[in-house]
Amino acid sequence: MARLTIPTLLLAAILAGPLAGCAAGPSPDLYQTFGGQPGVVALVDDLMDGMMRNPDLHPYFVNANRRHIKAELAAQFCVTLGGPCVYKGMDMKMAHARYGIGDHEFNALVEELQEAMDRRGIPYAAQNRLLAMLAPYRNDMVHPAPPPRARPPLTIAPNAVRVPEGVPEGASTTKETPPAP
């Protein structure tokens, strides 16, 4: 049993810091660590410059509306970090599914983001908190299932529209059925 004490102590020392200290998920503190909105906008500018220099990513962005993407990205990062913004852009699957993005390209973008965060002096632990929230997007961007063709679900109550008397039930579907013999 005594043999176990050294590894146990070491393990406790390793686990204590991360598990006790910083929480996961968005928080205003994290947003401030990134320098608030000016910090996020500068980070996104720097990120886009880095991506344009990266031969793996350049082809995806060279003909894209980079000003628009940067604005949406800044809003999205702001929301993700816990800032007071609203993201109004496309959902991630909609935005990316039609580009052939592989793990290689996704990771290239992550690395450019890490470089940009390094250049802006954002602490490594805070970087990882942002990346932890972005990482699950990989499933929407890389090898995604085809985008859903179904229309979005109705958001008004089914009885909100009153159908006048005299209109037969299911009128719109009757044209599919073959005429009665």
Partner 1 sequence: MFLQRFWGRFWGRLCRVRRARRVAPWAGAALLGVGLTGAGLPARAATVGRPEGATFSGKLIATGGVTQVEGAAGGGLTPWAVIGGGGTREEVGATAFFTAVRTHDYGMDAYGALIGLWDRVELSIAQDRFDTQAIGGALGLGKGYAFTSTVAGLKVRMAGDAVYDQDSWMPQVALGAQYKSNNRGALVKALGARDDQGVDLYASATKLLLAQSLLLSGTLRLTKANQTGLLGFGGGDDDYHAELEGSAALLLDRHLVAGVEYRMKPNTLARANPGLAPEDDWYDAFVAWLPTRNLAVTLAYVNLGRVVTPTRQNAVYLSLQAGF
Q: Which residues contact 97 (CB under 8 A, 6 or more apart)?
A: 140, 141, 144, 146, 147
- Show contacts with partner 1 in window 1-20 (CB under 8 A): 3, 6-7, 10-11, 14-15, 17-19
Instruction: For residue 94, give the 3-state DSSP assignment.
Output: helix
- In three-state form (DSSP H/G/I as H, E/B as E, the rest C), the secondary structure along 134-161 is HHHHHHHHCCCCCCCCCCCCCCCCCCCC
Quick one: tokens of 13?
């020392």
Question: Which 15-74 positions form the footprint of ligand HEM (CB under 6 A)?
Answer: 57, 60-61, 64, 68-69, 72-73
Residue 76 is a binding residue for ligand HEM (CB under 6 A): yes
89 lies in the site for ligand HEM, by CB under 6 A: yes
Whether the Cβ atoms of residue 115 and residue 50 lie closer than 8 Å to each other: yes
- CA proximity to 79, closest of 9, 30, 115, 45: 30
Separation between Cα atoms, residue 155 and residue 3, nearest integer Å = 63
Residue 106 interacts with ligand HEM (CB under 6 A): yes or no: yes
Q: Is 96 annotated as a binding residue?
A: yes
Which of 28, 29, 49, 59 forms a contact with partner 1 (CB under 8 A)? 59
Per 3-state DSSP, what percentage of the chain is helix, strand, and coil (rounded to 5)? 60, 0, 40
Contact segment (CB under 6 A) with ligand HEM among 3-11, 40-48, 102-110, 145-153 equals: 102-110
Cα–Cα distance, 136 to 93 (Å, whole number): 12
Minimum gap (Å) between residue 173 Cβ and partner 1 = 30
What residues make contact with ligand HEM under the rule CB under 6 A?
57, 60-61, 64, 68-69, 72-73, 76, 89-90, 95-96, 99, 101, 105-106, 109, 134, 137, 141
What residues make contact with partner 1 under the rule CB under 8 A?
3, 6-7, 10-11, 14-15, 17-19, 22-25, 56, 59-60, 62-63, 99-105, 107-108, 110-111, 114, 118, 124-125, 128-129, 131-133, 135-136, 138-139, 142-143
- Annotated binding-site positions for heme: 96
